[in-house]
């Protein structure tokens, strides 16, 4: 008999509004500060992962977007070991269960967005893998407990274990057991949160975030101040802003924190640059828009790369997408509805619409706040 157990889960991308940058323990992926993110809709951005288990499999294997990848890396190994050990406890309690913990796994994973876009896909990837395997293993652990496992794969993956508005509590313990994600609020608490992502072309990416953040930890003096003095009060303010659906505060803190994070990158030695001239033009455009409207209707944030994520509330969609469409109408990603109705809002000086932005942006992705990992009835097959 050729027995195969299988499970499929999808998981979302999350984009931090209070940034994670720097580990206090590189092995356990324990961060130097707590962070907060918004989970984005899986309709637009998600990883789907199918896991298969069989006593006949000879070794663990992993396919990402159709390409075979080695599973022999600490990050993946750490996750698999912990999931297997949780499964083993179940098997010890109930000898009738199949001994999945002893069997090899075949993991097949696919993104619904172009990897070339440079969107951090490792968070969604590790979250989907942990979700799928925990489903396969029928683990009783809740999303917060599973987030500790996803965290070992990729720090920010722990936040993709929840939908809506999510905090990664840095924790204090040396073993990392209290460093986990919690949901601040579900998507339906603040459902009108939208995000426009501008994919910015970048010929040579700067250093990876994994090595970049440790350069910052080791060399930036300003970073120590950020971690100890700037982030902690900002964290409570951001939690309150989310609870109160206070976009003015949410947006201001989001922009300030993105700038603060990139400032510590620049203060690293050698300095690290993720923002390009195009990124800066988008920053200026958003400030011009907010100034013209007279309040914060749009907030940019940048991860370890040049792509802009612009948060806004749906009631301000016309002005926010209007100004973006004003400079980016030629790039991919607008739908027919957008193209027909969008125009630059009154009050925004036409001279501020820098037409050179378009040459640095390859596409826009329009999305919104969304749900956490979901079991899926779609099953991927290895190529």
The residues that touch a second copy, with contacts defined as CB under 8 A, are 220-222, 225-226, 229-230, 252, 255-256, 259-260, 262-264, 266-271, 273, 276-277, 280, 283-284, 287
Least CB distance to a second copy at residue 268 (A): 8
Least CB distance to a second copy at residue 196 (A): 19
Q: Is 117 exposed, middle or buried (0-12, 13-18, 19+ CB in 10 A)?
A: middle
φ, ψ at 339 (rounded to 5°): -60, -30
Task: List the structure tokens of 366.
Answer: 């329009």
Q: Which is nearer to a second copy, 256 or 374 (CB)?
A: 256
Residues comprising the chain, all counted? 383
Q: Which is nearer to a second copy, 220 or 307 (CB)?
A: 220
Query: CB 7: neighbour CB atoms within 10 A?
Result: 20
Least CB distance to a second copy at residue 34 (A): 17
φ, ψ at 153 (rounded to 5°): -75, -50
DSSP states of 311-355 = EEEGGGHHHHHHHHHHHHTTSBT--HHHHHH--PPTTS-GGG--G
Residues 6+ apart with CB under 8 A from 201: 278, 306, 360, 361, 362
Task: List the structure tokens of 256.
Answer: 């300030």
Residues 6+ apart with CB under 8 A from 366: 44, 194, 195, 196, 197, 321, 333, 334, 335, 338
Q: Which is nearer to a second copy, 203 or 378 (CB)?
A: 203
Q: Which is nearer to a second copy, 232 or 347 (CB)?
A: 232
Q: Which is nearer to a second copy, 30 or 213 (CB)?
A: 213
Least CB distance to a second copy at residue 272 (A): 10
β partners of residue 46: 12
Residue 224 parent element (H or E): helix 221-225
Least CB distance to a second copy at residue 264 (A): 7
Least CB distance to a second copy at residue 320 (A): 17
Q: Which is nearer to a second copy, 106 or 262 (CB)?
A: 262
Least CB distance to a second copy at residue 1 (A): 56
Q: Which is nearer to a second copy, 270 or 383 (CB)?
A: 270
Calpha distance 3→114 (Å, rounded)? 34
């Amino acid at each position: 008999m050729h027995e195969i157990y299988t499970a499929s889960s999808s998981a979302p991308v999350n984009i931090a509004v209070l940034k994670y940058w720097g580990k206090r323990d590189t092995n356990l992926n324990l961060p130097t500060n707590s962070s907060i993110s918004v989970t984005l809709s899986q309709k637009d951005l998600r990883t789907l992962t199918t896991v298969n288990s069989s006593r006949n499999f000879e070794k663990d294997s992993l396919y990402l977007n159709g390409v075979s990848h080695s599973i022999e890396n600490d990050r993946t190994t750490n996750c698999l070991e912990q999931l297997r050990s949780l499964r083993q406890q179940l098997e010890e309690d109930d000898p009738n269960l199949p001994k999945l913990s002893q069997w090899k796994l075949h993991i097949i994973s696919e993104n619904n967005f172009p990897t070339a876009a440079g969107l951090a896909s490792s968070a969604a990837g590790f979250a989907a893998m942990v979700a799928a395997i925990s489903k396969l293993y029928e683990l009783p652990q809740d999303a917060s407990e599973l987030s500790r496992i996803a965290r070992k794969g990729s720090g920010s993956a722990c936040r993709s274990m929840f939908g809506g508005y999510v905090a990664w509590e840095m924790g204090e313990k040396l073993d990392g057991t209290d460093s986990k994600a919690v949901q601040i609020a579900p998507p339906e608490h603040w459902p009108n949160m939208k995000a426009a992502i501008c994919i910015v072309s970048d010929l040579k990416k700067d250093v990876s975030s994994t090595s970049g953040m440790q350069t910052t930890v080791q060399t930036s003096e300003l970073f120590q101040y950020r971690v100890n003095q700037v982030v902690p009060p900002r964290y409570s303010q951001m939690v309150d802003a989310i609870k109160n659906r206070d976009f003015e505060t949410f947006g201001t803190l989001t922009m300030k924190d993105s700038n603060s994070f990139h400032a510590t990158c620049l203060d690293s030695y050698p300095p690290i640059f993720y923002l390009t001239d195009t990124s800066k033009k988008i920053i200026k455009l958003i400030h011009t828009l907010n100034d013209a409207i007279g309040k914060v209707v749009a907030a940019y944030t940048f991860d370890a790369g040049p792509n802009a994520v612009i948060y806004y509330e749906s009631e301000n969609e016309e002005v926010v997408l209007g100004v973006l469409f004003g400079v980016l109408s030629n790039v991919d990603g607008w739908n027919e509805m957008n193209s027909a109705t969008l125009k630059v809002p009154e009050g925004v000086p036409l001279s501020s619409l820098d037409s050179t932005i378009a040459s640095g942006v390859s596409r826009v992705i329009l999305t919104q706040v969304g749900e956490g990992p979901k079991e899926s009835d779609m099953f991927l097959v290895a190529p």
